[in-house]
A and B are shown apart, each in its own frame.
Chain A
Amino acid sequence: MPAARKREQVRLSKEEVEHVALLARLELTAQEQERLTEQLNSILDHFQALSELDTSAVPPTSHVVEITNVFREDEPGPCLTSDQALSGAPDRVGDTFRVPRVVE
């Protein structure tokens, strides 16, 4: 049998999954955490295939259209009114969005 292709395994622990959930501002139940740990590991295992490609000389593609900056004159045009902009707010006071206290 030829030498098995050795891939560096990425194994996400439950603690790391909880850390990523915090970064993503998601709250996971214990059950969701367990399930996601297993599923993400299985997906990431599969994705290790990328590491066999040497891409050191390849530029990244973030965007396929060859446009960089698009400029226009800085002229005011029609825009939403405050009421329109606030129309979907779950909680508002006057012309502002209300959120839980951020600064003590």
Chain B
Amino acid sequence: MPKQLFEMTAHELAGLLAARQLSARELTLAVQERIGAVEPELHAFILLTPDLALGQAEAVDRARSAGEPLHPLAGIPIAIKDILCTKGVTTTCGSRMLADWQPPYDATVIDWMSRAGLVFVGKANMDEFAMGSSTENSAFGPSRNPWDLDRVPGGSSGGSAAAAGADCCILAIGTDTGGSVRQPASFCGVVGMKPTYGRVSRYGLVAFASSLDQVGPITKDVTDCALLLGLVAGPDPLDSTCVDREVPDYLAALRAEVAGLRIGVPREFFEYEGVRVDEPVAAAVWDAVRRLESLGATWGEVSMPHLRYLIPTYYLIAPAEASSNLARYDGVAYGHRTRRAVSDIVDMYRKTRDEGFGPEVKRRIMLGTYALSAGYYDAFYQKAQQVRTLVRQDFMRAFADYDVLLTPTTPTPAFRLGEKVEDPLRMYLSDVCTIPANLAGLPAISVPAGCSGGLPLGLQIIGRPFAEETVLRVAYTYEQAAAWGRQAMPVSEVSGRRAVVQTAS
């Protein structure tokens, strides 16, 4: 059976569009039809933007007819995490606080994607203010995993990953503070990449933890990831932490070639506080190591002793930054304001924030405020920043001997809805394999690594700062060698309460 349009990758479709065998309008309609069929069960989106999408698609078709030069991704439908500001289009960040907010400006990545002619199909669901690992913290209800509707798609960019995994878009974009692109990509059987901190502009990305947040692509294969990263990466005068550094041709880095590559396998990623990652998850990583070894790479085990302090370090730094960033939601300049009677302005702030924020956001604001408060700053926040230095040093030592590190993306495949909601600490532990790259600011990708019990697994590849090309090359080589690309990757069909996964045969 030939592939449906919505199942295809951007680089496949780009050829058809350029050859005028397909119009952007036809492609957009095909994707919208797919969304119509599965969205009622999947709930990947907070807002669908069908008119905006068709307008953008028709503009691309007109430009092509007029012979104007177009970006290779012009006319390709993309799902946008609802944390990126879209001018005049409601941007909720998964929160009641911003339920009706229409930003007066575009995020830089939105502006660049818009100029390149990408087609915005909708704003994807997410955990409130990107705090969570399952989308269960969304004020607008959770998304479902396209491989099993009783399971979570991961988070916080769970809507983006579910949309990509269920072919409700060709490309998706998310943000990653402690794994929010890679963990859901792994759970939904797609590729997700967090670039080096400073590689992509954060302007117009609703801030969670500013020293950790980074925008990243969620795509159906590594080639599409390279294409989208190439578009959104690069210096931006509107973000002073966005590094002024040339963007390489990431597509040119995609050679199936790892001869001489040195792979480190850090043992701390396989066990945290005595809990080992699931056996099939570990087996998938070792399988990848052996495949790459057979292609000429060498490998060795490495130890990163300070990773055992990962969870406290991250869950002090991120909430501390969040408590400061989220102080802006005070019911004055934009967003929700209480309608209850108030005695004074502080009472107005407190009632507004009580109504606008959900339980996890309140918990993290409380934790962060406490960690920054007088008398506890040194013991908690300062201490966590010092341990962050030790974690970075562990990585730098590992990268003296190795070019990339191979690890699981998550300790388990997708878990069930409701399984961890009541126990915040257990939920936090689902990010143990992804957090290290955020603390150290390193580029890291998750690529599909087979299935266990009908659920996708992820392989994580971590590289040196700004070594996206190496990370992409290794991911591409593995993707080609493992050959579960998109062919063997089951295409999920949502029917009734369960997703029926058809294996290609």
Interface residues of A (CB under 8 A from B): 12, 17, 20-28, 32, 36, 39-40, 42-44, 46-47, 49-51, 53, 55, 58-65, 67, 70, 72, 80, 84-85, 87-91, 97, 99-102
Interface size, chain B (Cβ < 8 Å): 68
B73 at the interface (CB under 8 A from A): no
Asked if B241 and A97 make an inter-chain contact with CB atoms under 8 angstroms apart, the answer reads no
Question: Contacts of A64 on B, CB cut-off 8 Å?
Answer: 197-198, 211, 392, 440-441, 465
Chain B residue nearest in CB terms to A54: B386
List the B side residues contacting A102 at CB < 8 Å.
344-345
A65 and B348: CB pair below 8 A?
no
- Contact between A32 and B315 (Cβ–Cβ < 8 Å)? no
Taking a contact as CB atoms closer than 8 A, the residue among B327, B335, B348 that contacts A100 in the complex is: B348
Question: Are the C-beta atoms of B330 and A62 separated by less than 8 Å?
Answer: no
Segment of B59-67, B357-365, B455-463 in the binding face? B357-365
Give me 20 A-to-B residue pairs in the complex whose CB atoms sit less than 8 angstroms apart, sorted by A's number.
Answer: A25-B330, A27-B353, A36-B366, A49-B308, A50-B312, A51-B383, A55-B383, A59-B389, A60-B382, A60-B385, A65-B198, A67-B198, A80-B104, A87-B104, A88-B333, A88-B334, A88-B335, A90-B334, A90-B335, A90-B337
B259 CB within 8 Å of chain A: no
The stretch that binds A, out of B131-139, B292-300, B367-375, is B367-375
Partner of B387, one of A24, A50, A63: A50
Beta-carbon nearest neighbor of A16 in chain B: B370
Q: Kindly provide the distance from the CB of B504 to the nearest chain A CB, expressed in whole angstroms.
A: 41
Residue from B327, B331, B344, B363 within 8 A of A36 (CB atoms): B363
- B interface vs A, CB < 8 Å? 101-105, 197-198, 211, 237, 240-241, 243, 306, 308-309, 311-313, 315-316, 323, 327, 330-337, 342, 344-351, 353-354, 357, 359, 362-363, 365-367, 369-370, 373, 379-380, 382-390, 392, 424-425, 440-441, 465
A28 to B351, CA, bound (A): 9
Give every chain A residue within 8 A of B336 (Cβ-Cβ): 90
- Contact status A99-B332, CB under 8 Å: yes
Chain B residues with Cβ below 8 Å from A67 are 198, 240-241, 243
In the bound complex, do residue B365 and residue A24 qualify as a contact, i.e. CB atoms below 8 Å apart? yes
Docked Cα-Cα span, A89 to B336, in Å, equals 9
